[in-house]
Structures are given as structure tokens and as C-alpha cells.
A and B are shown apart, each in its own frame.
Chain A
Amino acid sequence: MTGQTNTKYWLGFTLREALVTGFSAVGIILAQQFLRIPMHLPGHRLLPLVFFLLLARACIRACWVATLTGFLAGLMSLLFGMGHAGPMQLLSFVIAGLIADIVFRLLPRLTRSVALSAITGAFMGVSWVLVSIVQDRLLGLDFSLAVTHSLLRAGGAMIFGALGGAFATPVARRMQASGTIMPDVPSPEVAADSPEDRTSVQP
């Protein structure tokens, strides 16, 4: 079965990996729909985004998983009008995924450490400031005002991003411990046995 399911399906991902990223993207969208309830907490939407992006990153060992998850979530929110920022939503999701992937490449034990995940989540929150500035400028706000407005939201986004990262780690750890997903850094024997098996989801 492994040989059959490891056939590349799309962009170098197997069908199973693509579906896991799809489900993670749907999780982001559903959580964001739920968080449409006005809580008057700027940046609270980053919590599920960071949580699902890091969890997808932990589940699949392929490159650019978080970016693909962010792209799919952004595309779905664009297709179904679930986003508040239109095309900028897609950009912000992809940038957040890109940060998760880059940090994971630099620090492969990212999803094992609560502190590292929290810091990555906070970085993902900061990335939203840039997108927010571009959006405000497009809507005609003065640059300094756009920066002020975005920075007001950035504090909350960083806190919620860090929380999302901190929540993702215990879930990923528990799933690794139960054998549902493989550890982030495989042992040399495992890596030598299956050089082509990049998916960490156990069949």
C-alpha cells in the first residue's frame, strides 16, 4: 500500500498528503468562521491559523506543507468569500505558511518545543502587519495611520499567534507518541530504510 499511496499526486505531494493539507485548510476556514463572532480582540484569528499550520507541518514531512496549507485555506476563503480581506487574505495565509516552513527548515525540532512554536507563531503574527499595511494603503489610509492601525492589531496577533503555536506542540507531541505521525527528525535507520517516504502519516 505504501508504494501505491506514495505516488505523487500534485506538486510533489501524495494524495494522502494533499488531503491532510486540505483538511487542515478546512479546519482553518471553519475556525475562522467561528471566530467571526465579534470578540473585540484584534488578531484572535491567528490562533487557529498558526495551530493548524504547525500541526500540518508536524504531520507531513514534505517541503512547503505549511505554505500549501496556507495557500489552500486562502484559496478556499477567497472562493467562498469567507475572508475579510479578499485577495490579501490569501497573501497573509501564504506568508504565514512560508514562515512556518522556513523556520522548520532551519530548526527541524520546531514542533517539539513549545517555546520555539510560540516564537514562530508570534513571527507569523508580525507578518500580518505588513499585509495589513498594504490593505490599509489600498483603502486610502495615510501611511502613518495605516502603520498605527496595523501595529495596534499586531500586538494581539503576536499574542494569539504565540498561543496557537503553544497549543500545536502538545497535540503534535501526543500524536507522535501514539504513533499516528512520525517524529520530526527520523532516526538514521528509518531514513535509510525509506528514503522516498516523506509522509509522516502512518498508514
Chain B
Amino acid sequence: MPRDSRRGFPGQYMARSTPIQRLPAAVKLCMVGLLALADLINSRLTAALILVLIWFLLYALARLGWRQMLQDARVVLYQAPLVVAVLLLRQGMAALPAALLVSIRLGLLCLPGLWLQRTTRVSDILAVFGRFLPSRLAFVITMSLHFVPLITREAREIYWLQQLRGARVAPRQLINPLCWAEWCRCLAIPIFMRALHLADEVSVAARQRGIGEDTPAQPTLRSQLICRKVHP
């Protein structure tokens, strides 16, 4: 098993029994939005540092350890070296505080989303968005996300089968650009075809349940017969 999958990944949901985890998803979404907005409006180093402290506190309150915090911080601060290098090249060492401020603000703009993912289940977030998104759009998003594990499992199976038949699709082999075409042919095409067929099956199943129809679905002959048996 790869090392990263054992340790988790940035933004992975952590089930903890803390007041933060028990907060309604809508409240957490508002908090995240407000803190991101505060980061956008603010242009002072002290205010940015206060925001950093607030995020430390929020991570601590959610009982997320140093490992999770570092995982998330690594993701959000990867742009920092580029920003610092550009500013230092253009304006010299005098621009270091400004470069640090911009780097911190860039990081603070991305951190809320990761914290939200760490502390809130996807289903809870979807329930909140289902309140104000159009119901048909919410259905498409929910279905697309619902079948992610299935597609992932199928993708893994296709990957192992192709490996067994000797296709050069392993990540190590992808360093060689000559293997990219094989990756497209052996992995991308079967996975995408499987997704298309899955979309077919889901749409047919949804239609039969009357989803997306203006009139409710008519009971099938079989269900009518079953009803007659139960309630003669």
C-alpha cells in the first residue's frame, strides 16, 4: 500500500466527537465563507497572522493533529516559493514582508475548504446545497459523486487487469512519454466507456422511478400484480 494512502490525504474527513464536528454544516459553511472573505479584504500582516491563529485554533478545536495540519498546510503553501521568488527578483530583499504577506493570504484562501472537508461529511454539505441549488442540478451532482467509489473500483480493476496483461500503465512507467499512448488506450478509453454505460444505466433507472419527469412514474405491471396480491 502506498505510504500516502496509509497516512490519509489533505482534506480527508476525520470523524471526531467535538463541538466543531457537531456544528451544522450550514454554520460551518458560513464560517468558512466569512473567514475567506476576511482574508480577501485584509491587507495587513498582523491581521493575516491573527487569521492564521484563528485557523490553528479551529484545527485544534476539531481535534485535528499536527499531521493533518501539516498535510493541509503543505498543499496550500506550495505557491509561496514562487511568489516570494518573483517579488524578491523584482524588488529585492525589501519586498520580503510583502511577499510573505501575499503567500500567507494565498494559503489562507485555500485552507477553509480543506478544514471544511476535514470536519464535515460530504452528505451534510450536499444537504445544505440541496436547499438552494435547483433540485435537478443537485440530483446530477449527488449522482455523479455517489458513483465515484464505483467508478474508482472499476478503474482499479481495469488497471490491475491491464497490468496483468503486460500493459505499461504503472506510474513509474509513465515517466517515459512513449507509454502515454498505451495509458490512453488501455486505461482512459475503458474507464470512460464504463462511465458512459453507467450514465446510461442510471438515467434509465432514474426515468423508471419518475425522476426528471413532469408527471409521476406509472406503476409497472409487476408492481400492480404484487399490490393486488398484498391487498386483494
Residues of A in contact with B (beta carbons under 8 Å apart): 1, 4-5, 7, 9-10, 14-16, 18-23, 25-27, 30, 33, 36, 38, 40, 42, 55, 59, 72, 75-76, 79-86, 138-141, 145, 148-149, 152, 167, 170-171, 174-175, 178, 180-181, 201, 203
Contact = CB atoms under 8 A, between A and B. Distances in A.
14 contacts: A4-B207, A10-B134, A10-B136, A10-B137, A14-B203, A22-B140, A22-B144, A72-B140, A79-B125, A80-B117, A80-B122, A139-B106, A145-B86, A167-B188
B136 A30 contact: no
Contacts of B129: 79
A75 B134 CA distance: 13
Contacts of A4: 207
B125 A80 contact: yes
Contact of A5 (B102, B125, B147, B207): B207
A139 B134 CA distance: 32
Given A4-B207, A171-B189, A15 B105 contact: no
B226 to A, nearest CB: 23
Given A42-B82, A83-B113, A7 B212 contact: yes
A16 B102 CA distance: 44
B205 to A, nearest CB: 10
Secondary structure at chain B's binding surface: helix, strand, loop or mixed?
Answer: helix
B93 interface: no
Contacts of A84: 76, 79, 109-110
Interface in B54-107: 74-76, 78-79, 82-83, 86-87, 90, 101-102, 105-106
B15 interface: no
Contacts of A178: 193
